[in-house]
Copies of this chain bind each other. A is one copy, B any other.
Amino acid sequence: METVAGTSLIDPFAVAVDVDKGEMPEATNRQVRRASDMRGYYVDERALERLIEQESDPLHYEVFEVPVPNEYGHLMYCISKLQPGVVGEECFMTKGHYHTQVNTGEIYLCLRGEGYMVMKTSDGRFDAQPMERGKMVYVPPYWAHRSVNAGSEPLVSFCVYNAEAGHNYGDIQTEGFLKRVYRRGGEVVIE
């Protein structure tokens, strides 16, 4: 069969996704970020160090996937699971990233928990979309994106993006996300 250069032909397959619990038990890849991986991301650095020390560097977030080729035409998918909690007053969050192929988007279908998808562009546009079970957030091409858990249970989404997209964590770490999400006296505040 004629294939197109740069897009591999593979066999179809299926993966079980628990859409109620938000789990992918058959995942062959599990990326883990612990509290210590988040140094430099939160405002209250001392609160993060206390968390690392007092709770034995707890789990922060995980990504579960069954990989496909990182090539045009393939679609990468994963379960993203972010623990609940605060660092000082700031809600737990992912590092956030642009895609290396900056003009590629991502789809998040939230299955569990409560929070926000916080987004920005390199020229300073900002957006935050509430996440809860059944909310599908469209992260358009060019938008850096970060999940923030504003609830009391894990924030879990099923995600799909172009397999060739790649992750660029550096630029957004330098720029910052413009706004942060805090929990103050029971209220969630974006500022």
Which A residues form the contact surface with B (CB < 8 A)? 1, 3-4, 7-20, 68, 72-75, 77, 101-107, 109, 111, 117, 119, 121-123, 125, 127, 129-131, 133-143, 158, 160-162
Contacts and interface: CB of A to CB of B under 8 A. Distances in A.
Given A19-B19, A109-B17, A75 B136 contact: no
A138 to B, nearest CB: 5
Copies of this chain, complex-wide, total 2
A105 B74 contact: yes
A75 B12 contact: no
B75 A129 contact: no
A22 B4 CA distance: 35
Contact of A13 (B15, B72, B129, B133): B129
Nearest to A138: B13
A15 to B, nearest CB: 5
Pairs of residues from A and B, 8 with the lowest C-beta to C-beta distance, nearest first: A1-B123, A7-B103, A73-B141, A4-B103, A73-B103, A160-B160, A73-B104, A12-B127
B77 A127 contact: no
Given A75-B160, A103-B72, A111 B12 contact: no
